[in-house]
Structure formats: structure tokens, C-alpha cells
Amino acid sequence: MNELKLSKRLEEVVKSIMPNSVIADIGSDHAYLPCYAYLNGYIKGAIAGEITDGPFQSAREQVKKTELEHVIEVRKGNGLAVISPNEVDCITIAGMGGSLIRTILEEGKEKLEGVKRLVLQPNIGAANIRKWLMEHQWSIIDEKILEDDGRIYEIIVAEKGNPLDNYNDHIEAGLLLGPVLMKRKSDIFKKKWNHELKHAEQIVEQLNKGATSSEGQVKKERFEKEITLIKEVLK
């Protein structure tokens, strides 16, 4: 992977960026995503943010190597601390856990002023992001699910608006499985959730065999609820 060829996962993230926008790519690693996005005409400028020194230096070297210092600025800092309000149109955060992405958004929410779109690709825990978006009046306008190198990934695209627009009264199921994804029910979506269903059923079976503490009972009820929601969507 380099500035000319991204992974399938990151290519799909780039395709969801607003055309001709200025982006902030948070956790940019080698800055491949903003370099690729600029070289392929998706964006007019970018801020690449990194918290640790190694990736920060790698990103700076990559931007210098591709002679894009005039349009891509690499900054070191925690999450959205690398940007100011009204500085970017679109934010991309890819390759982290959903709970971490939620924390980044929550801790930096005052920096979201002027941001028109969020493109978020969690490795796990997408429901954490959907709950945050709902709580903060961001509407999910699109979702993607894809398989890349043997793993299944989800991409959530959100803009400011009524967060209930896509849920159609199926809020619990939508938060868990994705309001757009559960409508489309692609083969990859079915593959993912059939696997998750079996996993949840195994957990409940194990809990049923042991002496159930109050904590175990709460866990069991949570997984039983998930099983019901998944079965309802997959049927």
C-alpha cells in the first residue's frame, strides 16, 4: 500500500469523501489516504493528524516524498486537537475501534464546527459510533460493508441532520446492524451477522450452563436481545 494504491478498505473511505473538500485524516499513519485522495482528485487539501512520533514522522516523510507539502499539512496531536473549528469540511477516521472513534469525536466535538461530513471506518464496535451520532444530531447518509484481506469492515458516512431519518422506527436493530446496511442486506452483511449470531448463541449457551451471577444474567439478557434483533433482520 502507498500513495498510489490503497487497500480496498481505504479506497472505499476515500470514495465517501465530499468532492473538492479539505479533510482532516485522524490517525493518518503514513498519510497514504490524504496523498492518494489529492493525487486522484478527490480533495483540494488535507491535515494529517497523528498522536505518536513514529507515524507522525512517517507521514511527514511521505508528504515530502510526494511533494505535497503545499496541500497536505501533517500535525502531531491527540484526535481532533490537530484542527480548529471551521478549518476542514470533512473528517476521516479509519482503522480504529468504534469505542476509540467515539471518544475522539466526544472529546473533540467543539472542533466539529464547520464540518459537513464524517467518514468513519471502525474495525469493531460500529454501534458505539452510531449511538454517538444519534446523540449529537448527525444523520447517517450512507453505509458500506466490505471484505478486505479476510476481514469484514463497515464504513459509516454522516452529515448534520435528523439522526432518525434512516432508522424507520427500528432504532435498536439499526444501531447494532446499521440502518442503511440492514435495508440492503448484501451477501457480506449476511455473512457477518450470521457469524455474529452463532457467536452470541454460543455465549448464551455457555452462560446457561454455569451458575449465573447478577452480572452474568445482565450479559445473558444483552446477548439474547442481540440474537432476537439479528434474527429479525436476517429472516
Residue-level pLDDT at 209: 81
Q: Which three three-digit cell numbers place residue 198?
A: 452463532
**Spatial distance between the Cα atoms of 36 and 14, rounded to a whole number of angstroms:** 8
Q: Where are the domains of the chain?
A: 8-168, 188-234
The model's pTM is 0.95
- Digit-by-digit pLDDT tens for the chain (235 residues) are 666 689 999 999 999 999 999 999 999 989 999 999 999 999 999 999 999 999 999 999 999 999 999 999 999 999 999 999 999 999 999 999 999 999 999 999 999 999 999 999 999 999 999 999 999 999 999 999 999 999 999 999 999 999 998 898 899 999 999 999 999 999 999 999 999 999 999 999 998 887 668 888 888 999 999 999 999 999 9
Q: What is the DSSP letter of 4?
A: S
CATH topology of domain 8-168: Rossmann fold (3.40.50)
Helix and strand totals (H; E) in the chain: 9, 7
What is the SS3 assignment for 46?
Answer: strand
pLDDT at 35: 95
Contacting residues for 12 by C-beta, under 8 A, at least 6 apart: 121, 144, 146, 155
